[in-house]
Structure 1
């Protein structure tokens, strides 16, 4: 965890259906998408075919679902947070091959052997891993795949990245405990077991002006909200950091996107 932070979507199993209910707008507008190379890798290296049906578990506002919809896949978003699910339904309503259901990783509500690919973006670390494994195995067709990925924010390498990390360490409400929940590569391989099919890492970034940077910060569940004691001091520190680091009116918010894929034996 020394050089990356993985953006969390929830804090614990109880909070996981509500933690972002009051941050949906910022989440939709300012959270990053995923690099196109990720889907290319799934198709080229893992054999994900164009006619596969996708269950996007912990789909949130639909960022990961949209990537597959744009490529022509049939996608069911599984999301327990009602405001997030409603946002996804509004955003993606033009796609005829999209639907959303109220479900969790351990109880998706989907039929047995009904999907070809289970995807999890930015959410796996909040699941009960064994319960999710059983549920994914139930809904997957034989010899089909699970793909799990997340954007890991870089903590060092530029003045901005290092300053942003220091800001979160100072003002974040439960930042450290959120960061400790993410699995390392070995743990992910162990979760797949003998069915592990491979992993990859891709560079990704957002160019953000100050308003977008502020929205990006406020989309994080550990950022103090308006009315909380640390909110205004945090925003002043963010403004100072931006002014010191911006080039042509933007900063680069840099990530490594990590993906793990395989079958469930």
Structure 2
């Protein structure tokens, strides 16, 4: 989409506060299976506010975070600038600004569905050293794990702007075949869970680019519906989102 690089600018605070992290098992997998522990430099493409970048830095990796959205990039820089092995750059998946053969591994979390796939493939191949792996990662919110999950998803479909159009679940096998070298890729899946109180539920919802913001037509009805759903579904003041963290990996 033409606005994909800017559409989170008015959601940065909620994104930082309420977006989920990633399970330790998924990070272990990158280091134990894909050799990220031996990588000299990892590129985090579409790094956003630095949620995944921090996990790599905490493992001792050197990371260059590539992010085109200035508001999200500044938020990441504010929280990660104390890491000596961190640097960020104003670039995109299609034009990273990095030199040829610059990185030993690439990760992209919650971002690949926004990319121009043919251009990103060419760019990843240019900056990645021979033999390096690319990992595409998503927290896929499960929509069929119970009444709350089903009803919450129905609210997004009812009140969201373009929920079904921009959902990363629209990616299919053929998209990954076209991206990875010789169409060869593998997939690993890990379970993840994130609890929220009512404030957190609303913040998590508003962090999504398809949800209406204050002043827009569907904002008040959506917030009222979340109040009602939380009252019915919460236990001890919390509900939980259940995720499958998906890692698609291979060479490009």
Q: What TM-score range do you get, normalising by the shorter chain?
A: over 0.9
Correspondences of 1:1-265 after superposition (within 5 Å): 12=1, 14-179=2-167, 182-185=170-173, 187-194=175-182, 196-264=184-252
State how far apart, in whole Å, the 2-side matches of 1:151 and 1:60 are: 15
**TM-aligned CA deviation for residue 190 of structure 1:** 4.3
Q: Deviations over 1:5-50 (max 9, x none)?
A: xxxxxxx1x2122101010000000001111111211222223334
The answer on whether the counterparts of 1:106 and 1:132 sit within 8 Å (CA) in structure 2 is: yes
Matched residue SS, 2:144: coil
Runs (5+) with no aligned partner, structure 2: none
- Whole-Å separation in 1 of the counterparts to 2:115 and 2:20: 21
Distance 1:223 1:149 in 2: 22
Answer with 153-162 or 184-193: which moved more. Answer: 184-193
Q: Deviations along 1:217-253, whole A, 9 cap, x unmatched? A: 0101111111111111110100000010101110011
Please give the root-mean-square deviation of Cα atoms over the aligned residues, in Å: 1.4
* 1:230–1:35 distance in 2 versus 1, CA, 3 Å: same
Q: TM-score, normalised by structure 2?
A: 0.96
Task: Determine if contact 2:37/2:61 at 8 Å carries over to the other structure.
Answer: no
Asked if the contact 2:176/2:183 (under 8 Å) is kept, the reply is no
Verify the 8 A CA contact 2:64 2:88 in the aligned structure 1: yes
TM score, norm. by length of structure 1: 0.91
Report the Cα distance in structure 2 between the residues aligned to 1:181 and 1:249, rounded to whole angstroms. Answer: 30
Gaps of 5+ in 1: 1-11
Write the distance in 2 (CA, Å) between the matches of 1:23 and 1:251. Answer: 22
